[in-house]
């Protein structure tokens, strides 16, 4: 989805507009990072919204804009340090990236860089033999 978004953005928008949108998106992700760190937001009643935000952090790791990637990565790092992520949420967030890795025609640098960022953030969560299986 991110790749499609980028293609449309490049085709339809001027660089100035694209830069402004990236700044806006970065600021929004920073606000969501702050929200996720808020203790009152960690209650059961906010679980669904937290899951959507976490999923967005995962998706943003494969973005082409480095400033977006940086804040999304920091948001995920905060989430991982705060709590153990539910297995279902982790699987559903990783699925789009892993599905794209399964097809060589879908491989691109943002996807591979996103995978590297995920492995860095979630190194304790993966089986040691995962790297060998992916190769």
Report d(CA 89, CA 94) in Å as an integer.
Answer: 8
Domain count, the chain: 1
Among 10-14, 40-44, 64-68, 116-120, the minimum mean pLDDT is found in: 10-14
Tokens matching residue 56 = 């967005």
Q: What is the mean pLDDT of the segment spanning 42-63?
A: 91
Tokens matching residue 45 = 């009643």
Give one word for 30, left, alpha or beta, with left for phi > 0 and alpha for psi -120 to 50.
Answer: alpha
Q: What are phi and psi of 5, to 5 degrees?
A: -60, -45
User: What pTM value is reported for the model?
Assistant: 0.75
Q: How sure is the predictor about 8, in pLDDT bands with cuts at 50, 70 and 90?
A: low
Residue keyed to tokens 């660089």: 15
Report d(CA 93, CA 58) in Å as an integer.
Answer: 6
Range of the domain at 76: 2-134
Query: What pLDDT score was predicted for residue 135?
Result: 55
């Amino acid at each position: 989805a991110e790749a499609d978004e980028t293609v449309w953005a490049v085709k339809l928008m001027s660089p100035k507009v694209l830069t402004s949108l990236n700044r806006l998106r970065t600021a929004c992700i920073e606000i969501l990072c702050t929200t996720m760190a808020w203790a009152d937001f960690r209650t059961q009643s906010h679980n669904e919204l937290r899951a959507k935000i976490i999923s967005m952090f995962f998706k943003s790791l494969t973005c082409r804009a480095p400033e977006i990637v940086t804040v999304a990565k920091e948001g995920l790092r905060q989430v991982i340090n705060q709590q153990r992520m539910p297995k279902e949420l982790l699987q559903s967030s990783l699925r789009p990236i892993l599905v794209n890795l399964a097809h060589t025609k879908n491989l691109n640098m943002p996807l591979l860089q996103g995978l590297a960022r995920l492995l860095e953030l979630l190194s304790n969560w993966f089986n040691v033999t995962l790297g060998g299986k992916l190769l």
